């Protein structure tokens, strides 16, 4: 199997109530690929400027991430600055500079076109749609989105939604997209648009996964400290899809286990700023955290 991830690579400036980090490496594609790399050898599609650190690209290579779909363009890498409140679910975007992302048109290299799984991380839905037009019959298509696209490109987003098997979003986004105040009804409405699975992320409260006549719920990892919530959702998708790619099947059981792997990777991501935690994370720690989730819900 193979997994292609289309998303952003970025510099982030992050402010939490306790600390601040300037221009550290981030982006939905970055987080997702690193998380997925613990399960499979993900292929990344994205763009960076010439200012993107060589050490990070080397780190990606050591993690066996396929970079043939990564364009390096003259100019500066996409930049985002955000601030978190004491409640890590509350964040404000302070600044966004598209830079080389401005006129980026993602291209699937020939070696990516026959990917089994394609993940459209949070980018403009028109670009997501364009990627699907380049792919040759993927076995599973997944997408993520954010409030910005629900508000500004709703129709384009709904068009992509029709074409995907797994839709990731957080609870607020699901309610906003569907106009429902009840999350379960919101999820059902999303399924009515086409996806087989709606993966509704709820931050510290865990995740609810709905399929037709099916429901899987998992609480969040009970953590005492969230250092930096940035990228948790992307790492969730990375663990989820990476583990599916490794499993080679998309049965309900595989989806349930993928949800746990997603939660495992998200729970690690928030333990340090940016991608720091992935620099020391070991497969043994990943397996151990999976067992913690098993124990957390056992009765």
Residues in touch with a second copy (CB under 8 A): 86-87, 181-185, 188, 202, 204-206, 208, 210, 215-220, 222-226, 253, 256-257, 259-260, 294, 296-299
Considering the complex, state which of residue 42 and residue 220 has its C-beta at the smaller distance from a second copy: 220
Nearer to a second copy, 94 or 215 (CB): 215
Residue the block writes with tokens 């996409």 = 78
Integer Cα distance of 47 and 283 in angstroms:
28
The smaller minimum CB distance to a second copy, of residues 132 and 218, is found at: 218
CA dist., res. 203 & res. 110, Å (int):
37
CB of 76 to a second copy, least distance (A): 36
Active-site residue, selected from the candidate residues 12, 171, 228, 234: 234
- C-alpha 269/C-alpha 284 separation (Å) is 16
Q: What is the H or E stretch that residue 254 is in?
A: helix 252-269
List all residues 6 or more positions away from 228 whose beta carbon is below 8 Å from its beta carbon. 14, 16, 21, 84, 270, 272, 273, 274
Least Å distance, CB 185 to a second copy, is 5
Q: Which is nearer to a second copy, 67 or 296 (CB)?
A: 296
What count of other Cβ atoms lies within 10 Å of the Cβ of residue 287? Answer: 12
Joined together, the tokens standing for residue 273 give 């700023």
Query: Residue 124 catalytic?
Result: no
CB atoms within 10 A of CB 59: 17
- State in angstroms the smallest separation of the CB of 256 from a second copy: 4
Residues annotated as catalytic are 234
């Amino acid at each position: 199997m193979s997994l292609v991830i289309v998303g952003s690579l970025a510099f982030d400036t992050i402010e939490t109530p306790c600390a601040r980090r300037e221009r550290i490496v981030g982006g939905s594609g970055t987080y997702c690929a690193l998380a997925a790399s613990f399960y499979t050898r993900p292929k990344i599609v994205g763009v960076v400027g010439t200012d993107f650190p060589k050490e990070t690209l080397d780190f990606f290579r050591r993690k066996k991430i396929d970079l043939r779909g990564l364009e390096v363009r003259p100019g500066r890498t996409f930049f985002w600055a955000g601030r978190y409140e004491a409640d890590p679910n509350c964040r404000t975007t302070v600044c966004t500079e598209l830079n080389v992302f401005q006129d980026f048109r993602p291209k699937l290299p020939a070696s990516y076109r026959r990917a089994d799984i394609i993940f459209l991380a949070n980018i403009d839905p028109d670009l997501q749609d364009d990627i699907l037009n380049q792919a040759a019959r993927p076995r599973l298509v997944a997408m993520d989105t954010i409030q910005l696209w629900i508000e500004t490109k709703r129709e384009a987003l709904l068009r992509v939604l029709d074409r995907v098997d797994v839709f990731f979003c957080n609870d607020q986004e699901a309610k906003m997209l569907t106009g429902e105040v009840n999350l379960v009804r919101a999820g059902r409405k999303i399924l009515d648009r086409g996806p087989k699975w709606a993966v509704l992320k709820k931050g510290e409260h865990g995740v609810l996964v709905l399929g037709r006549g099916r429901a899987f719920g998992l609480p969040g990892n009970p953590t005492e400290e969230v250092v930096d919530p940035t990228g948790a959702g992307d790492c969730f998708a990375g663990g989820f899809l990476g583990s599916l790619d490794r499993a080679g099947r998309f049965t309900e059981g595989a989806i349930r286990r993928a949800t746990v792997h997603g939660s495992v990777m998200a729970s690690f991501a928030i333990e340090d700023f940016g991608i720091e935690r992935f620099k020391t994370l070991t497969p043994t720690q990943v397996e151990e955290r999976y067992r913690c989730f098993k124990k957390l819900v056992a009765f």
